[in-house]
Amino acid sequence: MQQIIDYIINYATQIWGELQASGQLFLYNPHEPMMFTTGLFMFLFAAFYFIYGCLKKADTLRLVFVTAFSYYFYYKSSGLYFVLLAVVTLTDFFVARRMAQAATQSARRWLMMMSVTVNIGLLAFFKYTNFFAQIIADMRGVHFDAFDIFLPVGISFFTFQSLSYTIDVYRRRIDPLDRLLDYAFYVSFFPQLVAGPIVRARDFIPQIRRPLFVTRTMLGTGVMYIVSGAIKKIVISDYISINFVERIFDNPSLYSGFENLMGIYGYALQIYCDFSGYSDMAIGLAMLLGFKFNINFNSPYKSTSITDFWRRWHISLSSWLKDYLYISLGGNRKGKLRRYFNLIVTMLLGGLWHGASLNFVLWGLLHGVALALHKVWMAITGQTKDSRVTNPLLRALCIVVTFHFVCFCWIFFRNVDFANSMVMISQIATQFHPEVALQWVQGYWQVVAMMAVGYVLHFVPCTVKDDIRRQMARLPWWAFVVLLVGMAYLVIQFKSADVQPFIYFQF
């Protein structure tokens, strides 16, 4: 307890000293982007939440305040590139308004293309210019010096989110908003701004003007989501990454096949805890503000097939790709062969969405081919999308096979260098050496324990986890304080000296 108090006092003293020395703390620093796990955000959010509560009955002023804070939050993450957020917001707001007034379908189509051009154009310039320029240079056999183009944090998320709004208006699924403020609030809402989840307009917009009402259960559940997300990120993900996973992936040839395999298992847990941890914190913060987000991860490593995996992993992105890309390509309406082709193209582009690199393209292609093959198998065996594996042994086998296929794909996702991926696979296939297992456990016992805890918690039934979360949210205030202090102590003990950015910040 004393250690926590000393930590808080020292951190507050440090911030106050920096405030007295200069105002640099509140300016953009590319080496210290604002994240939910930083002390500065916690202090700012405490002040923000107090003012937010005071504006409970002043709807318009509250929306202005939250939008301004969201823009500042993005400024602290990407500097002056917050202007891009404003460009996307203004363009899509007025395009959607004009679309609703258009007299012909042709005019609506041209307006929709304008929205696509602005959103995808910005994304393509900042994310893929060097990638495609390098490919063209390689094809021509000439040297290419990469352009100095900064990738704004979260551009992949807010462009997709804004684009989903204009597409829904084009498809007449929603009516365009009348107030620019409401749309700016929707696009910039800081809990999900820089790393998702991608929130649909039809789910979020009806909540904007609803009277602010945060129940005790929402408050308690929101805090529990934030704390559990922070533990996933700092205690599990960062710890196993810094102390084991990075070493394996940086130099796979120095380790046995067994250690490489454990490194892959570690990365599978790391990326899940990192991204689901961020999603949990985003859901929790939104809940504290009176808003509800849909779940973004649903125990993905319990999946019995690759199709099941993509119903559970990064649900907001996979459903976006399905609704706005796969269906736009024709979905399953143009025959089986076209359906399989559409699946592969959708996942290939989904891989490219993650980053301008061939390793992401290969990762997406592998998942696309696997999805197509699974659809073929379902057609041969007469299964439907609602079919369930009921036999316990067969279900366990399906989970093991699916998990290992996903882990195999993570090799290419994590390694930018294709040669490095082949080294890892070669080490596992030819230099496995299971006899080093005991030595590995002894040398990395803390990492082993953390991985074991992470996987055990992952495979706990969702109903049990939801029930625990509900029960803990109803604890008396003193028990809640004790719980928070205990979790804060764990976070402080495991937190590394340098803040580790969330993996999905790079996407």
Active centre residues (catalytic) = 354
Q: Is 134 left (phi over 0), alpha (psi -120 to 50) or beta?
A: alpha
Q: What count of other Cβ atoms lies within 10 Å of the Cβ of residue 473?
A: 19
Token pair listed for 145: 């010096």
Measured at the CA of 176, the angle between CA 171 and CA 177, to 5 degrees, comes to 155
Token pair listed for 475: 């604890």
Do 112 and 96 contact (CB within 8 A), yes or no?
A: no
Q: Is 92 left (phi over 0), alpha (psi -120 to 50) or beta?
A: alpha
Residue of 434, 415, 451 whose CA lies nearest to 249: 415
- Cα 143 to its chain centre, rounded Å, is 35
Q: CA-to-CA distance for 189 and 73, rounded, in angstroms? A: 10
Map tokens 């926590």 to a residue: 4
Token pair listed for 461: 């039934």
CA dihedral 143, 149, 154, 156 (to 10 degrees): -50
Q: How many Cα atoms within 13 Å fall on the side-chain side of residue 198?
A: 24
Residue of 488, 482, 499, 506 whose CA lies nearest to 36: 499
Q: CA-to-CA distance for 271 and 276, rounded, in angstroms? A: 8
